[in-house]
Amino acid sequence: MKRGSVNVDIASGSDIGGTIVTPSRRRWRVPKALAWAAVAPFAAWAVARVCGLERGSLPTQIMTATPYAAAGSVVPVLVGALARNRAATAIALVTTAVLGFSVLPRAVGSAETGTGTPLRVLTLNMLFGHAEPAAVMDLVKRLKPDVLSTQELTPGMVESLDAAGIGELLPYRVLQDEWSAGGSGLYARHPMTPLENLFRPIGHNMPAAVINLPGTRPIEIIDVHPYPPLGSQVHDWTAAIGAFPPPSPDRIRILAGDFNASLDHAVMRRFLDQGYADAADRVGQGLVPTWPAGKSIPPIITIDHVVVDQRVGVNEVSVHTVPGTDHRAVFADLRLPA
């Protein structure tokens, strides 16, 4: 008798004997080693993010992708579960929680609607002065900023903005324009005077000024643009952010510009922990990417910020694409304390 067959008496039509045997099926399983291989890189990322262990240019650049790592960390949880590897699954769950708590608050926000004197700030990196002047002026007319902080501001761009009528809307200025990425400049609706020796700029030009708003005390504004953390410049980038002045108990200070840093960089978090806050983070817009814009791929990382004294209220933050530049403009509607 063959396995799985039945012997039958053909003549009589009666069963002689035998049973039907169904072959057993093998259950497919994910190898346990594969679960550890999936978990390990995400767990290492979580440790580096929480402990601020990024060192050197490449790890520093990679750290800006932490929001995507947080989303991808769900995959090792599933792999560990399929492999029935309890230890790997547990570590994967902890990793996902750590990365999630590092990232998700930026999409929720914590600020209540502020009251007090309004201050509207707009910042834009103009990509060697290639931003379209008409688009910049359209933003200024629509958003009505009290301050426009510009990076990569060239003499040609200054002339183009003047020709477009920026002097009528923002008549006060403190400019350090150059025919390079080093140019920067502040435009304001209210009287503004240069502020010297506030800190030692490391990198591109970073002018600072005092703005005199009606009904409140003077406000300090800094146009931020350190070098990007590329190659050996990572050391200058770290030093530049570390050199920014801490909050002052008797003066409200605001920093706006291209920080070339995200909230996942340890040096940026140390700077904010002195008593500052990222305006976008305060209102749940902290994950909106600002670079690179105008490319074949959409913006993927958030490196342009309006940073405020923690005493400043944040009503709104919005991000705007401007033709001609690879950075998106960041607008913050602030409320100054009495």
What are the DSSP calls for 230-292, one per residue? -TTHHHHHHHHHHHSPPPBTTBEEEEEEE-S--TTSHHHHHHHTTTEEEHHHHTT-TT---BS
| Domain end marker among 103, 131, 150 | 103
In terms of domains, do 184 and 286 share one?
yes
In this predicted structure, what is the pLDDT of residue 26?
Answer: 56
Mean pLDDT across the stretch 55-82?
A: 96
Asked if 298 and 277 sit in the same domain, the reply is yes
Residue 211 reports pLDDT greater than 50: yes
- 3-state SS, residue 102: helix
pLDDT score of 226 more than 90 = yes
Q: Where are the beta strands (DSSP E) in the chain?
A: 7-8, 15-17, 117-125, 147-151, 172-176, 184-188, 192-194, 208-211, 219-224, 252-258, 276-278, 304-309, 313-320, 329-336
Residue 159 shares a structural domain with residue 25: no
Cα–Cα distance measured from residue 306 to residue 39, given in angstroms and rounded to the nearest whole number: 35
* Domain identity same for 153 and 81: no
Provide CB contacts within 8 A for 138, sequence distance 6+. Answer: none
Is residue 118 domain-shared with residue 44, that is, in the same domain? Answer: no
In the predicted structure, residue 11 carries a pLDDT above the cut 50: no
Q: Is the pLDDT of residue 86 over 90?
A: yes
Per the structure, how many domains does the chain have?
2
Q: Are 307 and 332 a contacting pair, CB within 8 Å?
A: no
Nearest to 325 by CA among 57, 124, 114: 124
Distance of CA 173 to the CA centre of its chain: 28
Do 295 and 162 share a domain, yes or no?
Answer: yes
Q: What pLDDT does 4 receive?
A: 47
Q: What is the DSSP letter of 52?
A: T
Same domain, 20 and 149: no
pLDDT for the residue numbered 27 = 60
Are 246 and 290 members of one domain?
Answer: yes
Its domain, for residue 156, covers 112-336
Instruction: Say which amino acid occupies 296.
Output: S
Contacts of 186 (CB under 8 A, 6+ apart): 147, 148, 149, 150, 173, 174, 175, 192, 207, 209, 221, 223
pTM to 2 decimals? 0.89
CA distance 11 to 133: 99
Domain end, chosen from 45, 71, 103, is at 103
Residue closest to 330 by CA, chosen among 283, 298, 297, 296: 283
At 21 the pLDDT is: 57
Burial (CB count <10 Å: 0-12, 13-18, 19+), residue 19: exposed
> In this structure, are 125 and 253 located in the same domain?
yes
> In the predicted model, what is the mean pLDDT of residues 156-161?
98
What pLDDT score was predicted for residue 214? 87
Question: Among residues 185, 222, 193, 227, which one has the least CA distance to residue 210?
Answer: 193
Q: Do 60 and 159 share a domain, yes or no? A: no
What CATH number did the domain enclosing 219 receive? Answer: 3.60.10.10
